[in-house]
Structures are given as structure tokens and as C-alpha cells.
Amino acid sequence: MATPLSLESVSQRGTAATGTRQTQGLARLLLAPAVGLLFIWMIVPLALTIYFSTLHYNLLDSESQQFVGLDNFRYFLTDPAFIASLQNTLVLVGSVLALTILLGIPLALLLDQPVLGRSIVRLMVIAPFFVMPTVSALVWKNLLMHPVSGLFAWIAKLFGATPIDWFNDAPLFAVILIVSWQWLPFATLILLTALQSLDEEQKEAAEMDGAGALSTFIYITVPHLARPITVVILIETIFLLTVFAEIFVTTGGGPGLQTTNIAFLIYSQALIQYDIGSASAGGLVAVVIANIVAFFLVRIVGRNLEA
């Protein structure tokens, strides 16, 4: 800031940040409802969750609400169901991320090629994202994955294989497939958008520098995709951590705990077992996990805000 050269940038940022006094007072006023609502929305339930998490509180026996300190956390974190559901959550998130990105990259590259009727193909690829979760889960479960009458079973029999009883033999994998189908369009669309924003002249410069198609891909395209891939990972993670409807309508968390993720575990403790204290403790654990991811996402988006 000390050198005269930086003055212009200061003055311009300053200009953007000031305007006149009149406009500023009004601006605060206009901002207030949104900020106030979101503040309440964030602080009140969270405070209550923290409060409940320290109580022994069951809706079936709502008379006895006693303070139990961190017992609920001890109970929740040492519950074998927590370990299992944490594991399921990680497998679910990790697999869906891997599938959507590993399939999304080639798909985006393909759609970036000269394709006749590209806009129609685009529409077909993006469609699953607009299907409500309960519909996609039930259509997959019944029409495609049914062990007797599902399309997959018929295809397996065509090739002389034994049909897989998806929701008994590989329930978590079945859920993973459904969720991946829903999120593949998102990954593809973002990567495609990023590819299309890649400067054609950069590729031509690489070509003039003697880079072949593969080198261009490795040295120009992949670095260009690094950022959108990060964004895909972070945003998908936020949503995948809380996958719920797909499990709710297909497996109900079972068989056993095989498809119970953290979100579903907390749901079942709260609204099936009515164990408010323990569910609240679990909810806070979920918040902490999400915050770790959010921390990185906010930093990336924030950096973009400066540019």
C-alpha cells in the first residue's frame, strides 16, 4: 500500500466498497432479514441440539430429563452401530465420489468432442439429477435390481449367470450404484463446463510446442480440471454425508446395519427409538464431520470470491 503504484487498486476497491452514505444505510436494512433468519436458523436448533445432547431424554418416557453430561457422547461413540455406520458412510461417500469422478472425466471429455446432437446427449446425461431421490431409489430397486423380475436379473440370465440379489447380497453396493447414478450428471456437467472454458489457444500453443494429444491432456487439461474436480469432491461430499431418502425407501438401513449411515442412524435413534439425547449427540458428531469438509470448501469458494 505504501508505493504510489498500488494506489489505483486501492482507490478502485475503495470506490466499490463505499458509494454514498444514503445507499449504505439502506443496504444494511435490506440485508437484515436474510441474515437474521439464517442466524436464528443456525443458532437455535444447534443450541438445542447441544442442550439435548447432555440430557437423558426419551420421548417415550418424557418425564425424566436429567443432565448426564457427556454420557450420550460416550454411549453414541462407543455404540457398535456408530462404528458400523461411520464405516458405511465413509464407504458410501468414497465409492460414490470415485465412481462419479472416474466415469465423469471420460464422459465429459467425450461430450467435449465434436458430437452430432450434443445438446440432446447432454439432456439425457443430465436427466438423472432431476429425478427425486425416492423415485430413483424405487425404480432402481424394483424395475432394475429385483432378483427375479428386474432387468439386471434378466440380463444376467441371458449370459447364463445367476442373478444377484442386490439388496440381500450387496445392499451397500446397490445403494452406492443408485446414488452414483444420481450424482454422475453433476460431476460430468461441472467437468464439461470446465473443459469448455479451457482456452482453445492454450491447447494450440501446446500443439505448437510439440505436445501430442496425450501430453496436452496430461499437462494442459488435467491441471485445468484440478480445481473443478476439487469442487465436485467437496460439494458431493456435503450432500453424500447426508444421504437419507435412498436408504429410507430401499433398505431401511438393513439388512442388520449393512446400509445404515450416520444420517440414518441418527434418524432411527430419534424417530424410531425416540432417544433424543443420543440422537442429539449423534447429530453433533455429524455436524463436526460436515464442518471439516465445509472448512475446505469455504476456503476454495472464498478464494474464488477474490478473483
Q: Taking CB under 8 A as the criterion, which residues in 255-274 touch another protein?
A: 262-263, 266-267, 270-271
Q: How far is the CB of 74 from another protein (least distance, A)?
A: 18
* Binding span for another protein by CB under 8 A among 29-37, 66-74, 78-86, 91-99: 29-37
Three-class secondary structure assignment of 261-287: CHHHHHHHHHHHCCEHHHHHHHHHHHH
Is there a contact between 282 and 79 (Cβ–Cβ < 8 Å)?
Answer: no
User: Which of 77, 84, 144, 156 is in the footprint of another protein by CB under 8 A?
Assistant: 144
Own/partner pairs for 152-159, CB < 8 Å, 24+ apart?
Answer: none
148 belongs to the binding site for another protein (CB under 8 A): yes
As measured in angstroms, the least distance from the Cβ of 258 to another protein is: 17
Q: Given candidates 97, 99, 125, 175, which one binds another protein under the rule CB under 8 A?
A: 125
> Cβ 80 to another protein, closest distance in Å?
20
Task: Annotate each residue in 172-211 with x if it binds another protein (CB under 8 A) or - if it does not, as one string.
Answer: ---------x--xxx--xx--xx--x--x-----------
Site string (207-246) toward another protein, x via CB under 8 A: --------------------xx--x---x--x--xx-xx-
Phi, psi (rounded to 5 degrees) for 64: -90, 105
